[in-house]
Structure 1
Amino acid sequence: MSDRADSTNTSVATPVRVATFAALRVRNYRLFFSGQVVSNTGTWMQRIAQDWLVLQITDSPLAVGVTTALQFLPMLLLGLWGGLIADRYPKRRLLLITQTSMGLLAAVLAILTLTGHVHVWHVYLIALGLGLATVVDNPARQTFVNEMVPHDLVRNAVSLNSGNFQLARMLGPAVAGVVISLVGSGWAFAINAVTYLAVLAGLMLMRTSELQKMPRPKRGPGQIREGLRYVRHQPQLLWTIVLVFFVGTFGYNFAIILSAYTKDIFRSGADLYGLLNTAMAAGSVVGALLAARRTTGRMSLLFFMSGAFSLMLVVLGVTPWLWIFVGLLVLTGLFSVSFNTLANSTVQLRTDPALRGRVMSLYMLVFMGGTPLGSLIVGWITERWGAPLALVLSGAICILASVGCAVIAARSTGVSLKVDLHKGADHHVTLVSGAA
């Protein structure tokens, strides 16, 4: 399936490639990227420490799922309003507010844990507070890239953002495992609180005169409905977002799965939990760097990556050997971030700039907002029947979603396959527009 079907025999253009780190030549983006490397590493330290702390307090994978659900529930309930705020107000100013709030919440959790006064309900409340800040932070941060770099570097910058996030995902769990083992979870939370200073410094040092101006919607009724209608009438946006919902809900529950594998399958502790997360992140970094060289992305590649990631979940679920499991996590991370990067950049680049915040908030709503449902379901299955079965079922659901969305998206855009097998002909496959 091709992105476009404008002619009877649709040709597929050779992807244009750019230097892997092209967007880093832009000063404002370089400041943003540098601050995010530090802050994201601290965030991943906190995520690992938070999951491990809850598991220590409750001895329940379901409780870990509840924590994850509370952190993502606000996105499910308020995500579209967060996107509207991101469209209406200066994104740099919004990020200064949200990042400060998240840093303060990390500091509170650190103090409670280090003083020995932390209870599971404290973790629940702070997770909910982080979720509320994320409602605005996510669409503002996702769309801010369009103001920092020129249009032809947006896909590169989105890929580098993913690589940034995954590099932090690789470093954060490894550091968290060491910190938790040596001095406890409280210091991991304290380190995370300090790392927010890096992203705040980067935002403050930006040259606002070099930020590209984006259109802002005028105040008026029906602006959220306007964003929903826009997506509904854009099949490639609609079915990408539908697929992201299924993958985000059932495929991205590794906090629950990997903590259960560490404790129940491999009978180990925080060090191994950090290693499993690091292995997956290592593959994700490679996937993000490969994606950064592309300035175009086909829908067919998007659905292929989704299917490959989904299949890896099933393969992981039937793999009982530790080091093979670790190796498969690397491949899973590569396919995961390739799909995520393609989906994110496709939605951003195909959306009207005046609606981008609302559309990206819908994207993040289904990607992260489905997590409360998915984490509760996967946590319940994990606790009742074990992590391997939970992985296999999750992968099977995502495979069905990948195939279904690919077929419906192809039909919606009028694209079909034509295979020429006539005797004496050059046997080849072409993409044919249904409108022809």
Structure 2
Amino acid sequence: MFKRTTGKRSYFAAFKHPNYRLWVVGQLISLFGTWMQATAEGFLVFELTHSPAWLGYVGFAAGIPVWLFSSYAGSIADRYPKRTILMITQGVMMALAFSTATLTFLGWITPHLLLFFSFMLGMANTFDAPVRQAFVVEMVGREDLMNAIAINSGMTNGATAVGPAMAGVTYALFGPAWCFTMNGISFIGTLTALYMMKLPPHEKIERKSSIIEDIKDGFRYIKGKPVMLAIILVVAFNSALGLAFATLFPAWAVKVLNGDAATNGFLQSSRGIGSLLGALVMAMLSRTKRMGMFLSISMMAFPVFLLLFSLTDTLFASLSLLLIAGFFLLFVISLSNGLLQLLVADEYRGRVMSVHTMTFFGMTPVGAFIYGQLADHLSAPAAIQICGGILLLFSISMFIFFPRLHHE
């Protein structure tokens, strides 16, 4: 006989932890605002410049701090209370959102100012991301870690499904400044949740080594783990050539689909709906063995649907294929994160996740720059075909030449 209660515990096991429940509520509120700002910013840049290359420049600016400071941020994450760091980084992001909104309301916003704000947001995110990922295991423990990662992905992509569509409609009706304002307000959710958490006192670990030595030790640790290296390589390729294709959505909406800001929002939301469905399926499979096999299959499926998307010129076909591509992209990103966290020792978690952050958030802007340049010199469809083809070849090569990954 089936025991329904067991299934429910398996699907949403992480919710039994009170601090994690608070985290989910706060993040749900904040993520809607985050996606509203990201969607509005991209379309505003394209509206001001009419250049796909500028979309790449703004995306690339966010990645510069990741490359410069990620390793340092990982060491900080292993040394200091994670809640304190998160409250600081989230507060800085709130201030940046309100500053962007104010300048946009006043009519003083320019592409160069958006470039500056993108850089500053990238700086805050560089310190926020590895801490946020390492913080999850403190809230739920190793047993429920994969389930929590799946739920986090569901939250992120639930916001991706709704936030961009809201941004497109808000932008079309009221202008971009209100999108930035709503993002600033949304940070209250995460800050309140962090403040309300009941956490044990932070145990300060006495370290004789310097931060620089800690960073070197972290890289030595990763170097000695071939599967970890393979996962980080997967994240790098899929961030640069997979995630970054969304940079072209504003250009795709206008030049390929003859649409507007609302069309851009619908494209982002369709990908988000697919990722949300993927997160729900992943939550059900979070305690299934052979996650590496699911990762390998998804790595090959995603670029196939990305290439099919590049051949579309109607809204319905674009939205349908983006939904499927989003489903498999979610599996690639979330399974990479989950496998990495399960493999790493706790004392190295912050530093290893900072390398993950460096590849995930650092390679996406590099990819955005590449996509922008290819689209500017060729076309948006050609850019996606070139990058999607390279990603497919990489995924097939990993499956053939590194079988250890799909045996995990």
Q: Under a length normalisation based on structure 1, what TM-score does the superposition of the two structures give? A: 0.88
Please provide the CA RMSD for this pair. 2.0
Pair 1:268 & 2:230 matched: no
Give the conservation status (yes or no) of the 8 Å contact 2:81–2:202: no
Say which structure is richer in helix. Answer: 2
> Equivalent residue for 1:397?
390
Pair 1:161 & 2:152 matched: yes
Query: Displacement, 1:406?
Result: 2.9
Correspondence for 1:175 among 143, 166, 169: 166
Correspondence for 2:238 among 241, 247, 257: 247
Query: Displacement, 1:20?
Result: 2.0
CA distance in 1, matches of 2:159, 2:205: 32
Query: Displacement, 1:255?
Result: 3.4
AA matched with 2:381: P
Distance 1:17 1:282, change over 3 A: same
> Equivalent residue for 1:199?
190
CA shift digits 1:385-427 (9 cap, x unpaired): 11111111111111122122233432xx5x99xxxxxxxxxxx
CA shift digits 1:346-384 (9 cap, x unpaired): 001100111011111111111121123211111011112
Distance 1:326 1:249, change over 3 A: same
AA matched with 2:367: G
Pair 1:318 & 2:315 matched: no
> Equivalent residue for 2:348?
355
CA distance in 2, matches of 1:409, 1:229: 21
Give the conservation status (yes or no) of the 8 Å contact 1:242–1:405: no
> Equivalent residue for 1:365?
358
Distance 1:216 1:329, change over 3 A: farther
Matches for 1:119-158 after TM superposition, within 5 Å = 119-158=110-149
AA matched with 2:219: L
Give the conservation status (yes or no) of the 8 Å contact 2:80–2:204: no
Give the conservation status (yes or no) of the 8 Å contact 1:170–1:280: yes
CA shift digits 1:284-320 (9 cap, x unpaired): 0010111112224532221111111111111111223
Please, which runs of 5 or more residues in structure 2 have no aligned partner?
1-6
> Equivalent residue for 2:324?
331
Query: Displacement, 1:44?
Result: 0.4
CA distance in 2, matches of 1:353, 1:215: 13
> Equivalent residue for 2:225?
234
Distance 1:241 1:18, change over 3 A: farther
AA matched with 2:355: L
CA distance in 2, matches of 1:396, 1:206: 46
User: Which has more radius of gyration?
Assistant: 1
CA distance in 2, matches of 1:150, 1:356: 13
Distance 1:244 1:171, change over 3 A: same
CA distance in 2, matches of 1:277, 1:347: 27
Q: Sequence identity, in percent?
A: 33
Pair 1:343 & 2:336 matched: yes
Moved more, 85-94 or 197-206: 85-94
> Equivalent residue for 2:20?
29
Query: Displacement, 1:27?
Result: 0.8
Moved more, 167-176 or 254-263: 254-263
> Matched residue of 2:10: which SS?
coil
CA distance in 2, matches of 1:175, 1:36: 17
AA matched with 1:254: F
Report how many aligned residue pairs link the two structures.
Answer: 399
CA distance in 2, matches of 1:97, 1:282: 31
> Matched residue of 1:381: which SS?
helix
Give the conservation status (yes or no) of the 8 Å contact 1:288–1:338: yes
> Equivalent residue for 1:113?
104
> Equivalent residue for 1:43?
34
Correspondence for 1:307 among 256, 275, 300: 300
CA distance in 2, matches of 1:223, 1:196: 32
CA distance in 1, matches of 2:67, 2:115: 17
Q: Under a length normalisation based on structure 2, what TM-score does the superposition of the two structures give? A: 0.93
CA shift digits 1:4-54 (9 cap, x unpaired): xxxxxxxxxxxx995322212211001111100110110000001111111
Please, which runs of 5 or more residues in structure 1 have no aligned partner?
1-15, 417-430
Query: Displacement, 1:142?
Result: 0.7
Pair 1:289 & 2:280 matched: yes
> Matched residue of 2:143: which SS?
helix
Query: Displacement, 1:258?
Result: 1.4
Query: Displacement, 1:243?
Result: 1.4
CA distance in 2, matches of 1:96, 1:289: 29
Query: Displacement, 1:324?
Result: 1.5
Query: Displacement, 1:168?
Result: 0.8
Moved more, 382-391 or 316-325: 316-325
> Matched residue of 2:312: which SS?
coil
CA shift digits 1:169-218 (9 cap, x unpaired): 11110110111011100010001001001100000000013x89797865
CA distance in 2, matches of 1:324, 1:155: 33
Query: Displacement, 1:234?
Result: 1.0
